[in-house]
Structure 1
Amino acid sequence: MKILMVCLGNICRSPLAEGVMQSLVDKYQLDWKVDSAGTSNWHEGEPPHRRSIKIARNHGIDLSVQRSRPFTAEDMTEFDHIYVMDSQNYQDVKRIAGKLWNQDKVDLILNAVTPGKNKAVPDPWYEDTDKAFEHVYQLLLDACEQLIQQLNTQA
C-alpha cells in the first residue's frame, strides 16, 4: 500500500503526518510506503519546519531526512490513498491531478476519526508555537491510528 500525505507547503502538517504514519507502519511491521507533498512548490527541497522536527523528535520520530516536494498529477496514479489536511488542499489536489483525478483515493485525514465532517488539521505555521505543533501531532496520531486499523483490514 502506498499512502501520500498532503498539505500546502509540505513543511509542517504533511511531514508530521508522514512521520507519524511511518512510525505506525514500522511499529506494526506493515509493508507500506508513506510519503508527503505540498500543493505548492514554495519550499521545494527544504526540510520540515523546525517545530515539526522538534515535536516529532519529542515522540521518537525523525523527520530530518524529509524534504519538501510538490504534489504532481502522477501522484494520483502512484499512490493508493492520498490524505489532505484541509478542504483547500483537497481542491488543490483535484486541480493539479486534472484528468488523473480519482475522488475514491483522496480524503481529508481527520475524516478517519470524524467521518464525513471534513474537519481541517489547523496549520501551525501561523501560530508557530510548540503548543500548536503538538496539537497537530496529536490530531494526526489519532487519525493515523484509525487509518492503520481501517486500511489494514482492507489490505
Structure 2
Amino acid sequence: MNILFVCTGNTCRSPMAEALFKSAASRKKLDVSVKSAGLFAPENGKASLYAVEALFEKNIALNHSSAPLSKEKVEWADLVLTMTEQHKHLAEREYPNHQDKIFSLKEYVKGKTGDITDPFGGSLSDYQKTRDELEHLLHQLADKLSGRAR
C-alpha cells in the first residue's frame, strides 16, 4: 500500500507524519511505502529544524526535502491523508478523479473531522505537541491497516 501525507509546505507536519508512520509501520511489519508532499511546497526545501529535533527526541531521523503535491504523487498513492480539512478540500478540488482516496488523517483514523495543529513558526514545544498528536494517530492508523483496530 502506498500512503501519501499532505500538508501546506511539506516542512513540518507531513514530513513528521511520514517519518513517524514509517517507524510505526516497520514495528507492525506493514508492507507500505510512504511519502509526503505539500500543497504549496517548494521543491527541495528543508524540513523545519524543530521538526527534525522533535523527531530526534524519539530516535527517528528526518532527512527530508520538501516536494509539491503532484498528479504523479496522487496517482501513486492508494491513500492520501491530509493534515487538515482545508488541505483535503483543496486536494479534492485539484484532483477530482481521486476523491475516493483523499481523507484528512483524523477523518480516516477516527471517523470524525479535525485538524492537526500547525507548529510552523512556533517553539520546540509546539512541534513536540504536534509530534505527539501525530504519533498517537499514526499508531492507530498502523493498527487499522494491520487489521487490529482498537
**What's the CA shift string for 1:80-108, capped at 9, x where partnerless?**
1111001121122112214x322x31111
Contact 2:28–2:146 under 8 Å retained in 1: no
TM-score (norm 1): 0.88
Which amino acid is the alignment partner of residue 133 of structure 2?
A: L
CA contact (8 A) 1:112 1:143 kept: no
Aligned length: 148
- CA offset digits 1:38-91 (Å, max 9, x no partner): 0013x3201210000000011011112x21001112323211111100112112
> What's the counterpart of residue 90 of structure 1?
88
Find the residue that maps to 2:137 and give its secondary structure.
helix
CA RMSD across the alignment: 1.6
Q: For structure 1, which runs of at least 5 residues remain unmatched after alignment?
A: none
Counterpart position of 2:71: 73
Structure 1 residues 112 and 146: CA distance shift in structure 2, 3 A: farther
Q: Secondary structure at the match of 1:82?
A: strand
Which SS does the other structure have where 1:137 is aligned? Answer: helix
Q: TM-score, normalised by structure 2?
A: 0.91
Q: Aligned partners of 1:110, 1:136: CA distance in 2, in Å? A: 13
Distance 2:26 2:46 in 1: 22
Which consecutive unaligned segments of at least 5 residues does structure 2 have? none
1:46 aligned residue: 45
2:136 is the counterpart of 1:142: yes
Please name the residue that 1:31 is paired with.
31
Q: Which of 123, 134, 141 lines up with 1:129 in the alignment? A: 123
Identity %: 26
